[in-house]
Structure 1
Amino acid sequence: MVSPQSEERTYHPQDAIAATIKSTALTGGVGLFASAVQNTLAKQNVGPLGIFVRSGGTIAIFAAMGGTYSFARIASANLREKEDPWNAALGGFFSGSILGLRARTFPAVFGYGSALAVTLAAFEYTGGTLWGHDKDRNVDKYEKLEKLRTTYRRPAEETISEIGEGRGIYGPGYADRRRERIKEAYGIDVPATPPPAS
């Protein structure tokens, strides 16, 4: 019998066109915001249409970079039938190359593409965080959470013996022990609290 950890995960193809349209719209919106900021900070009065006329290239660059990254990453994953950092590197290279096209030199196209490819591949490799992630893609998340939940479960008696009672942690018979301690320390008889009527 093959264990679930040793067998390969099945790749499910994704819709590259729908994801490209969605990410183009999203990054185009970010580009529109950046263009509006550029228009606001302009020294001469260019009017509200300056967002599209004067700094409209910013919108186009942002939208093209987002759409290209999304399409290249998903198309690569669909063709290779694998979900790994190489897809992000390929998408990052094409996306960064678009940013380098503004400089109109081959070194800028290759440099921006390579820099973004390395950055996005490293980001994908570390599990989507810059602090690293030791996520094993072959382990089921439910099983992992169950293991964590049962690993740290300790008997209540052990916890109470280590840290003592109080602060919301009370063992069985706590009220009786508390009454006895108060009687010994202060000589006061504390009446037993009746159980709440419900």
Structure 2
Amino acid sequence: MTASTVHYPPGGIASAGVVPYDPKPSLRYAAKVGFQAAVVGTFVSTIQNALGTHTRGAPGFLTRYGGTIGIFAAMGATFALTESVVANQRQKDDPLNGVAGGCAAGFLAGIRSRSLPMAVASCAVLGAAVGVFDYSGQSIAGHNAGLSPEEKRKRFFKQKSQPPPSSEESDE
């Protein structure tokens, strides 16, 4: 192949107004999200260690609760890898990619409990949660995220309604 070879998605050139799909680097994304999830897992493990009663002291966040760090990292990496592989295969960026990633991560969490029904239920719950989040625009703030504080205040407080025009005023 030459350097000027252009690859189009299956089905031909994208129609006007549709942005062609840009493939995601799966392993890089999985490593990044896995590391971020491991940091969150370390925080959760530290909280568990602080609230737990044992004789291991400060190193207990690794020795006693280190599995929490591992499962968080594994779930994060599994989610990211599955989401990007599904997106690359489908060549679409839509909420179904997040549903697949959430389902894979939830299944992994359920398998940790050594129960297949728990794994299937976790797959459904986490997949649905991520799918709804992606479908709603990937924002917890909702539709008011781009509004100024003054506009938010005006929408929050009830506005006094104007009385309907009387028939005497409309006849003139």
The residue identity in structure 2 corresponding to 1:129 is: S
CA–CA distance in structure 2, aligned partners of residues 116 and 44 of structure 1: 32
Residue 111 (structure 2) aligned to one of 101, 113, 121: 101
Per the alignment, in what secondary structure is the counterpart of residue 34 of structure 1? helix
- Output the TM-score relative to the length of structure 2: 0.71
Q: Unpaired runs of 5+ in structure 1?
A: 134-198
Q: CA-atom RMSD, angstroms?
A: 1.6
> Do residues 92 (structure 1) and 102 (structure 2) align?
yes
Residue deviations 1:167-196, cap 9 Å, x none? xxxxxxxxxxxxxxxxxxxxxxxxxxxxxx
Give the count of matched residue pairs: 129
Cα distance in 1 for partners of 2:112, 2:78 equals 16
Three-state SS of the structure 1 residue aligned to 2:18 is coil
Report which of the two structures shows the higher radius of gyration computed on alpha carbons.
1
Secondary structure of residue in 1 paired with 2:84: helix
With structure 1 as the length reference, what TM-score do the two structures score? 0.62
Which portions of structure 1, spanning 4 or more consecutive aligned residues, are displaced by more than 6 angstroms? none
Structure 1 counterpart of 2:59, one-letter code: L
Can you give the 5+ residue segments of structure 2 that lack an aligned partner in the other structure? 1-14, 144-172
Counterpart in 2 of 1:8?
A: 18
Residue 18 of structure 1: aligned partner = 28
Alpha-carbon distance in 2 for matches of 1:122, 1:86: 10
Q: Give percent identity, aligned residues only.
A: 34
> Does structure 2 conserve the Cα–Cα contact (< 8 Å) formed by 1:39 and 1:46?
no
The residue number in structure 2 matching 1:68 is 78
Give 1:6 shift. 5.5
Q: Give the direction of change, closer, same or farther, for the CA distance of 1:44–1:90 in structure 2 (3 Å limit).
A: same
Shift of 1:9: 1.7
Per-residue deviation at 1:14? 1.1
1:187 is aligned to: none
Do residues 127 (structure 1) and 134 (structure 2) align? no
